[in-house]
Amino acid sequence: MNIRSFFPLLSQTIDGKPLVYLDNAATSQKPQVVIDTVNELHTSLNGNIHRGVHRMAEQCTARYEAARESVRGYINAAKAHEVIFTAGTTAGINLVAFAFGERYVKAGDEILVTEMEHHSNIVPWQLLCERKGATLKVLPFAHSGELRMDMLPALISKKTKLIAVAHVSNVLGVVNPVDEISRAAHALGVPVLVDGAQGVPHGPVDVQQMDCDFYAFSGHKIYGPTGIGALYAKEKYLNEMPPYQGGGDMIKSVTFAKTTYADLPYKFEAGTANYIGAIGLGAAIEFFKSLNVNDIQLHEEKLLRCATDRLQSIGGLTIYGNTPRKSGIVSFAFKNIHHLDLAQVLDKQGIAVRSGTLCAEPVMQRYGLTGMVRASFACYNTLDEVHALAEGLERAKSILS
Ligand code: PMP
């Protein structure tokens, strides 16, 4: 099976050179079935969900709920109503920071994040802390990129209201021990939110085994459309938290005296949902599941190993994130070459990578850098592309140094 043939965008050239797309941690490309699903809905089956009784409205509603079931199965949530459709990871984390914060956080409390978080899993908690007079605490990581789990017990206290941690770091690629964090947190009655943006694209996730209380991810990083994602939350929290936004579809009844809210999950899905995006996400998940996911995981590990071997033999290049458990990401910097210049020279060779602070400035500060270059892999990347990256970097180095 040639996986690349499912992704029409990949066959294009950039300035006459074959596209080598290695910016998958920023966003992944879409298989034809996702493009066709979204097109089909826009061309022949579009009716607003949960409202109309006409045929198209009913069919869209059924397909929207089927997409929720696809997400539920993929992350192994116990109940479909524990899956809330959101605009993406950022939206899911902000939902929790607001609604959980309103219900449980007061002045003097603490929220614990890690030093390797994406800005999306830092700033919403800072905003919450500012609103409530709470304090943000930070669990550091070692030079290798491993979280300092030895420091965790001292950072969890009676004041800790929630721990927020990335499943996989978008810079270092390290897979964090989220189940161990959940166990330690739950022993003290503290819930855990996992930022799954970089966890979900590389294989099914089991939120019950992880025993996290919240898990947020984005559809566009797992071969789905942009503007759609999902938040898993344990039913207990969804019942106890107030709504995040008010509007149509999230209510049972409205009077000027009192409004009552809809049952889960609709209480947290105010307004017209991005149902076309959600159905596209469902198609993406079903597509991904139809590939042999074990084989894909082995293939991506091979790409990562090959990239690590090739890149660490390039003089002057340092890879950040050197732990045994890594997934799909290799980030690096040269001592005397600016990351933006490198990325631009690579682009001229048709190689797309990400450069800059990677939305994780504290990680850059930790290593005393202004930025890095990141290559990130998806199911359709090949060993030839990894070799093209290594050769492209050698060429860029000779041009720029
Ligand atoms: N967290 C992590 C770890 C990420 O990699 C990203 C995307 N770069 C996000 C959060 C934010 O995702 P989105 O922009 O799709 O909301």
pLDDT (tens digit per residue) in 271-291: 999 999 999 999 999 999 999
Mean of pLDDT values over 191-217: 97
What is the residue-wise DSSP string for 79-148? Answer: -GGGEEEESSHHHHHHHHHHHHHHHH--TT-EEEEETT--GGGTHHHHHHHHHHT-EEEEE-B-TTS-B-
User: 161-171 pLDDT, tens per residue?
Assistant: 999 999 999 99
pLDDT tens per residue across span 81-90: 999 999 999 9
**How many degrees, rounded to 5, is the angle at CA 168 between CA 165 and CA 173?**
135
Find the length of the chain.
Answer: 401
pLDDT at position 133: 98
Classify domain 3-27+293-400 at the CATH topology level: Aspartate Aminotransferase, domain 1 (3.90.1150)
CATH 3.90.1150.10 residue ranges for the chain: 3-27+293-400
Phi, psi for 32 (deg, rounded to 5): -55, -35
Write down the pLDDT at residue 46. Answer: 96
pLDDT at 216 over 80: yes
> Whole-number mean pLDDT of the chain?
97
Backbone angles phi, psi at 371, to 5 degrees: 175, 175
What's residue 204's pLDDT?
87
Architecture of domain 34-289: 3-Layer(aba) Sandwich (3.40)
Catalytic residue check, 359? yes
Distance of CA 322 to the CA centre of its chain: 21
Residue ranges of the chain assigned to CATH 3.40.640.10 = 34-289
What residues does ligand 1 touch, defined as CB less than 6 Å away?
25, 88-90, 118, 120-121, 166, 170, 195, 197-198, 218, 359
Q: Which two tokens stand for residue 106?
A: 């007061």
pLDDT greater than 80 at residue 345: yes
The pLDDT tens digits for 7-61 are 999 999 999 999 999 999 999 999 999 999 999 999 999 999 998 899 999 999 9
CA of 191 to the centre of ligand 1 (A): 21
Q: For the purposes of burial, counting CB atoms within 10 Å of the CB of 189, is it exposed (0-12), middle (13-18) or buried (19 or more)?
A: exposed
d(CA 234, CA 200): 18
Atom of ligand 1 nearest to the CA of 218: 15
Residue 1 has pLDDT above 80, yes or no: no
Torsions phi, psi for 139 (to 5 deg): -90, 120
pLDDT given at position 51: 85
Catalytic member of 129, 306, 359, 379:
359
**Could you tell me the distance, in angstroms and rounded to a whole number, from the CA of residue 256 to the centre of ligand 1?**
39
Distance 27 CA to ligand 1 centre (A): 9
> pLDDT per residue over 242-269, tens digit each?
999 999 999 999 999 999 999 999 999 9
